[in-house]
Structure 1
Amino acid sequence: MINPRVLCLGEILFDCLADQLGRSLADVESWTPYPGGAPANVACALVKLGTPAGFVGAVGVDGAGKELVQVLQEVGVDTTGIQRHPTAPTRQVYVVRSLDGDRTFAGFGSHDTAEFADTHLQAKLLPQKLFQEADFLVLGTLELAYADSAAAIHHALDFAEHFDLKVLLDVNWRSVFWKNPEIAPATIRKLFQYVDFIKLAKEEAEWLFDTSDPGAITYRLDTVEGVVVTDGENGCTYCLGENEGKIPAFNVPVVDTTGAGDSFVAGLIHQLLTHGIPSLTDGEKVKSIVTYASAVGALTTMKAGAIAAQPTATEVDTFLQEQKL
């Protein structure tokens, strides 16, 4: 297997999507499980686009864990960074959906959020060789809510600094993952000094920075190379290098928005690796990079499930040609 250029560290899980749209958790009659978890989604999307990627995280030794690892392997994601916890279950999260496909995380069934295997990722077991040979590290913030996995994140950041990896942080705020959500903002902000790129949803940007202007966020942090703020059907804004702009959303028939932001991240990183970080000095190139990322995200909304819906590079190129972009 080709050494992964991108390492995606964090949670892998089953998104149990409500089969009945527009219903509350108590009123849903049945659920369909789909493989997910933001870092795992990004890894799979990258491989489908043609960028070798690896997933680093922890699963249980249960059937769900084995099935998720198999999904990654079938896609072509490097799984040498996966740890197996002997007693903790693999995480499942229940997701209710509105009539137009937007989703809300509704809980973890009978388990407490801190009982799952992903929370027990061990820093000392992270494979140094993976980091030594990679170019990018992708992180979320959900695993900051638990002591073991938070320590693993900081150890991975040490590796990233030592081996000169670029780091992208996708805030991906989900209050349901935190036992004490009040500590989340300060905990997340501590990470900013270690990362090169930040991707936020508009509401996350306003929550953490009191603004959704990526240029203002970049200026305030003064340590990052780029910030992208996504806003669903309203498109996204960006500040990459010294280039700022806005990309409107593509008009596509939305079936399920799960994983669309993760696919956007994969498209962004794929393009950064394809064109190189120095390309961020070129305003037109930056616009095309973000447009590509937006297309990957849009195409993912057209089918159910995060990983199953992800497009190939050929599908993205065809879509952009059809859009005359």
Structure 2
Amino acid sequence: MATANRPIKVICLGEILFDCLADQAGKTISEVTSWTDYPGGAPANVACALAKLGTPSAFIGRVGKDPQGEQLVQLLESIGVDISGIQYDEQAPTRKVYVTRSKQGDRTFAGFGERQADRFADAYLNKDLLPTELFQEAEYLVLGTLELAYHQAKAAIFRALELAVENNLKIVLDVNWRPMFWLDPDRALPLIQELWQYVDFLKLAQEEARWLFNTADAGEICDRLASIEGVLVSNGDAQVSYCLRKNEGVVEPIKVIVKDTTGAGDAFLAGFIHQLCCYGIEQLSNSQTAEDIVKYACTVGSLTTTKLGAIAAQPDPDEINALY
């Protein structure tokens, strides 16, 4: 769905890459005999899902000046995502992540092949090349935490946060904890905690919530982060705990036949932000509206698990409305 000539509402900043998904489910990385490349990367997934749902989005990230990078950028453009924030790296390649699957569709990240984690283009996102005009136009900035693992990309994250604050954007953080992206995972916790002061909406997987806050209850986390407007805690196909403008509850996702869980959390987040854009944040004060928004987000996430790949599997509005 193209969003040309409509103001960008959501900026998604971070990694875009190829998930190399094991063709054989239930096998270890040494047992897998073939892989299929699927476009992915959490912020890129969110940007694409938003565009498909009809919310104008932009992606800011860095790819290698290689065929893989060009393919990813063309995909973003074809879906209708604004690509004015794409940077190209002459030395470092576009990232590939190897992903194994269980027979139930759950995925495990299995490394980067021959390269170290910091030897890919997204690690070198340049803060001086961020398109400031996008921040003057948008309403939301969506971030993950993987870029904090790399010195140059980390600087870009904090520059983006400055621009978001200057332009009164709402800041949405999906923790998306992936230890394999860090050369020193012990550095992650204090850096992630530095982000709390900026965040308006926080999305966590249950294990991330327990790691960071020692609880998976969204209301308790909201109480800990006094200035936050909303917390979502997901747990695969189990219930989602939410606290939005002090309205607390749980939502049970619809049951589907799962093929691949890659990108389901990103689609869930996109569904949530899309509904915020449709309703307006003030409507979160209505308890029924808050619950409906989370139910919609769960439906988007669930449908994404019924097909392979993260971006390829994202549903369109008609598929969602048939179930929601």
TM-score under structure 1 normalisation? 0.98
Match of 2:273 in 1: 269
Match of 1:39 in 2: 43
Native 8 Å contact 2:237 2:302 kept in 1? no
Native 8 Å contact 1:232 1:249 kept in 2? no
Match of 1:162 in 2: 166
Q: Distance in 1 between matches of 2:78 and 2:253?
A: 31
Match of 1:232 in 2: 236
Q: Distance in 1 between matches of 2:270 and 2:201?
A: 13
Tell me how far 1:3 sits from its aligned partner: 2.8
- Counterpart secondary structure, 1:109: coil
Q: Distance in 1 between matches of 2:242 and 2:7?
A: 30
Tell me how far 1:139 sits from its aligned partner: 0.1
The C-alpha deviation readout for 1:234-292, integer Å capped at 9, x for no partner, is 12010000100000121100010000000000000000111001001100000000000
Counterparts of residues 65-144 of structure 1 (less than 5 Å): 65-144=69-148
Q: Distance in 2 between matches of 1:223 and 1:30?
A: 48
Identical-pair percentage: 57
Match of 2:184 in 1: 180
Tell me how far 1:123 sits from its aligned partner: 0.3
* RMSD across aligned positions (CA): 0.6
- Counterpart secondary structure, 2:15: coil
Match of 1:213 in 2: 217
Q: Are 2:290 and 1:256 aligned?
A: no
Q: Distance in 1 between matches of 2:195 and 2:29?
A: 33
Native 8 Å contact 1:250 1:295 kept in 2? yes
The C-alpha deviation readout for 1:59-102, integer Å capped at 9, x for no partner, is 00011000000110111100000000111000000000111000
Q: Distance in 2 between matches of 1:280 and 1:96?
A: 38
- Counterpart secondary structure, 2:84: strand
Native 8 Å contact 1:168 1:195 kept in 2? yes
Match of 2:313 in 1: 309
Q: Distance in 2 between matches of 1:221 and 1:92?
A: 35
The C-alpha deviation readout for 1:104-154, integer Å capped at 9, x for no partner, is 101001111000000101001101001100000000000100011110010
Whichever structure has more helix as a proportion of its residues is 1
Could you tell me which amino acid in structure 1 is paired with residue 173 of structure 2? L
Match of 1:297 in 2: 301
TM-score under structure 2 normalisation? 0.98
Native 8 Å contact 2:219 2:243 kept in 1? yes
Q: Distance in 2 between matches of 1:42 and 1:153?
A: 17
The C-alpha deviation readout for 1:181-231, integer Å capped at 9, x for no partner, is 011111101101101000000000000001111101110110110100001
Q: Distance in 2 between matches of 1:51 and 1:317?
A: 16
Q: Distance in 2 between matches of 1:3 and 1:272?
A: 16
Structure 2 unmatched runs, 5+: none
Question: Runs of 4 or more off by more than 4 Å in structure 1?
Answer: none
